[in-house]
Amino acid sequence: MKKLKNEKELVKKAITEGMKYAESRGVVEFEATDSANEKIEYIYRLLVHDNVIQPIPEDAISQQSMKHKIAIWASKIK
């Protein structure tokens, strides 16, 4: 897994855009008390469920790999 140049900023963008995406679909309402890790996992699983991104093999899923995957997704959003 090659680290992206500005991965931290892309993860922040992915969380923001992912929250908008999930709430616009009406599947979730995020609370202020939700941790970033919970949001990342929920956004990752929703994007995989909607066939927006390719899933990571179950035995290779980690917080870091989910962050990386949604950061790649965010880099493609205008």
- pLDDT at residue 1 above 90? no
Class of domain 7-25+34-75: mainly alpha
Give the pLDDT score at 53.
Answer: 96
- pLDDT at residue 5 above 90? no
Indicate the pTM of the whole model: 0.91
Task: Read off the pLDDT band of 2 (50, 70, 90).
Answer: confident
Whole-number Cα distances in Å, 78 to 14, 17, 52, 74: 12, 10, 15, 8
- Which tens digits make up the pLDDT trace of 46-77? 999 999 999 999 999 999 999 999 999 999 99
- Torsion angle, CA of 77/67/54/26, rounded to 10 degrees? -70
